[in-house]
Structure 1
Amino acid sequence: MNEFILPVRVYYEDTDAGGVVYHANYLRFMERARTEWLRTLGFEQDKLAQELSIVFVVAGLEIAYRKPARFNDALFISAKIDTIGRASLVFKQEIWREGGNNSRELLTTASVKVVCVSTGNFRSTTIPTVIRELLQ
């Protein structure tokens, strides 16, 4: 699977006093897209921790806010892997707003580095082969 897209509706609770999506909530939307992608591949975060003793943690990100999302907008959050390392993944993510006539307006872009770590010591560890093969 090359790219995963998660539809999200903006709720009132997602917005700030100015009526636009609060900046940190874009990161939550992106996290949900990455988590749901793993879920569609058959990997639940809690089971990865219990059965393989690993978790994925965000090690860095770069984000550009281009246009604001607002209450009740229909958004699409995309996630695709840009780079696979021994113990890390770099995701390219975008947030789009649904427009009229099947158009989409780009709101946010990000590069998110995620590292596979051992639950025992929280040090980086090799991404399990079974996960790596499905992501490539």
Structure 2
Amino acid sequence: MFRWPISIYYEDTDAGGVVYHANYLKFFERARTECLRAIGVNQTQLLAEDIAFVVTRAELDFCRAARFEQNLLVETLVIEMKKASLTFQQRLVDHQGVVYCEGKIVVACITLTRMKPRAIPQNIVQELKSGS
């Protein structure tokens, strides 16, 4: 389980001070990026090698409204690994474990110039397996 802190800024909210629904996807994206960075995956290097990860599916459940100036955590866990895709379970929670939003995000590994699926590089597979 990877945890990444998120602070809710004014720009994340709507006129009522509640997090705008699309911003939960941004929080989850940042946490997945940091999760990969924590295991040594350099996405700039991947792009130079014509490799990218793209979201192919996102399912979100909005459980409770997050608000301006809250400090929360995104919990990220790889729950399925296939040859060319990863499925992440992610939750935005407070420090007592109260869930604000949870989702299942599927990302595919692609050859960027062709926009076609490709196998996840072995070094990434190994790091994800050793971290789980």
Which of the residues 57, 68, 71 maps onto 2:68? 71
The code of the aligned residue for 1:33 comes to A
Divergent runs of 4+, >3 A: none
Shift of 1:42: 1.1
TM-score (norm 2): 0.95
Question: Deviation digits for residues 30-72 of structure 1, max 9, x if unmatched?
Answer: 000000011111112111110x320000000110000000000
Q: Report the identity percentage.
A: 40
- Asked if 2 retains the 8 angstrom alpha-carbon contact of 1:69 and 1:97, the reply is no
Q: Which runs of 5+ in 2 are unaligned?
A: none
1:105 aligns with 2:98: yes
Structure 1 unaligned segments of length 5 or more: list them.
none
Give the AA of the match of 2:80. T
Q: CA RMSD in A?
A: 0.8
Assess if the C-alpha contact under 8 Å between 1:61 and 1:113 holds in 2.
Answer: yes
TM-score by length of 1: 0.92
Q: Secondary structure at the match of 2:32?
A: helix
**Which residue of structure 1 aligns with residue 18 of structure 2?**
20
> 107, 121, 124: which one pairs with 2:117?
124
